Each structure stands twice: as C-alpha cells, then as structure tokens.
Chains A and B, each alone.
Chain A
Amino acid sequence: DIVMTQTPLSLSVTPGQPASISCKSSQSLLHSDGKTFLFWFLQKPGQSPQLLLYEVSSRFSGVPDRFSGSGSGTDFTLKISRVEAEDVGVYYCMQGIHPTWTFGQGTKVEIK
C-alpha cells in the first residue's frame, strides 16, 4: 500500500495568519493520464470529513479560495492563506491512484 505521511501532526494558528500542511506519499501519485490523484479533506469537530481539494489543487464546490494546494509526484502541500475560526479540525490527505485508498495520519489545526 502507498503510505501517506503528514507533517506537522498539530498546528496552532492565530486567526488571520497563514498555515501550511505537508503530505508525502511513498510512491508517485501521477497517473498515466497526466492527473495526480491527491485529495485533501477537513473533518470539523463532530462531523464527517468534507472534501476541500481534488487533483492536488482543484477546489471542490463551495470551498473558499483561502484554501490552496500544490505539489507533484510525491510531495504535496495544503495552504490556508488566512486561517479563520471555522477552519479548526483535522486535515487529511488521501491518495486515490491506487485501488486501496490510504490516508495521512491527520493534522489537527487549532486556533490560538
């Protein structure tokens, strides 16, 4: 299975400040069709995960543009340009290139 490794595992951010989460995969997530199957999710407290980004950097419907994704191959980053109180929760990256989906350990984001 592809191993997904996130850093850091926790983050405390002042509202209005940026935040960044790294996700590394043990194998390339680049498909032969040229697309890279890396997703980002946010699980807010007491809720199910919600999709933020797909194919590394495409925002899902309704996701604010303060969320952005970058990276290629095996190294990826989620950035929040200005963290808001509603952004607290656990962020997960997930690879969708291999039939067996695998997730990062999660990064817990808190507000200072």
Chain B
Amino acid sequence: EVQLVESGGGLVKPGGSLRLSCAASGFTFSNAWMSWVRQVPGKGLEWVGRIKSKTDGGTTDYAAPVKGRFTISRDDSKNTLYLQMNSLKTEDTAVYYCTTDTRRSVIWGQGTMVTVSS
C-alpha cells in the first residue's frame, strides 16, 4: 500500500525558512515523480511544484508564486521527498501535501500545516 507521511510543518515568521519532509513507502520511490500541493484551510488546492525521477533527469518545476523561494529535492536512499521553503510570506500559510505524480495515480499524504505569522 502506498503511504506518504509529511512532517516538518509549524509556525514561522515572515521571511523565515522551513523544510518539509515526506516519507514514502509501498512503491519504488526512486522511479516516481513527486509533487507538492498546498491548501489554505477551507479553500481550494494549489499545485506547488514537482521533481522528476533521476532516470527522467531529476529536474524540478515550480508554480509561479513560489519559484525562486521554494526548492524541491529528494533522497532516494531514504525514500524521502523534501520541500525547502525560504523567504516565507503570510500567503504561504497552508496545509502542504506531498503526492505521487503519475499519469494514472495521484496519491496524497495526510498533509502538514505551515503557518506564517508574526
């Protein structure tokens, strides 16, 4: 069974940094493209970015609002996905989900809450 478990959320001041992790199990993580999606509580879903598998180049794509501030990386030896968030803004406050990113399945973790507030 595919499982994704996010961690690392919390309260951070504007301008601060935070790193989220997503521990994956139940599938061959190294072969998987992975994405991050966020959701302001009570609102809709917003894609944040993705990282391809190393065999597909390991490249990253980002949504415009986070480009240049957020960095997605992966450690295939640990089956773990990361989201490094720098220069955080109040509008980055949301639940952050990691997801698998394939054409036939998008499986979600339980999410981790990030609150950016002074």
Q: Which residues of A contact B (CB under 8 A)?
A: 35, 37, 39, 41, 48-51, 54-55, 58, 60, 92, 94, 96, 99-106
Cα distance A51–B105 in the bound complex, in angstroms: 7
Q: Residue A58 contacts which of B35, B61, B63, B104 (CB distance < 8 angstroms)?
A: B104
B37 neighbours in A (Cβ, 8 Å): 101
| Given A48-B111, A99-B61, A100-B63: A92 and B103 interface contact (C-beta under 8 Å) | no
B61 neighbours in A (Cβ, 8 Å): 99-100
Query: Taking CB as reference atom, which chain A residue is nearest B104?
Result: A54
Cα distance A37–B105 in the bound complex, in angstroms: 11
Q: A41-B106, A96-B103 are in contact. List 18 more A-B contacts (CB 8 A).
A: A35-B103, A48-B108, A48-B110, A49-B45, A49-B97, A51-B106, A51-B107, A51-B108, A54-B103, A94-B45, A99-B50, A100-B47, A100-B61, A100-B63, A101-B35, A101-B37, A103-B44, A103-B46
Q: Which residues of B contact A (CB under 8 A)?
A: 35, 37, 44-47, 50, 61, 63, 97, 103-111
B46, B63, B104, B107 interface centre (most CB from chain A within 10 Å): B104
Cα distance A41–B105 in the bound complex, in angstroms: 11
> Separation in Å of the A57 CB from the closest CB of chain B?
12
Is the CB–CB distance between B44 and A92 below 8 Å? yes
User: Could you name 25 residue pairs across A and B whose Cβ atoms are closer than 8 Å?
Assistant: A35-B103, A37-B103, A41-B106, A48-B97, A48-B111, A49-B108, A50-B108, A51-B106, A51-B107, A54-B103, A54-B105, A58-B104, A60-B105, A92-B44, A99-B50, A100-B61, A100-B63, A101-B37, A101-B47, A102-B47, A103-B46, A104-B44, A105-B44, A106-B44, A106-B45
Is the CB–CB distance between B47 and A55 below 8 Å? no
A99 neighbours in B (Cβ, 8 Å): 50, 61
B50, B103, B109 interface centre (most CB from chain A within 10 Å): B103
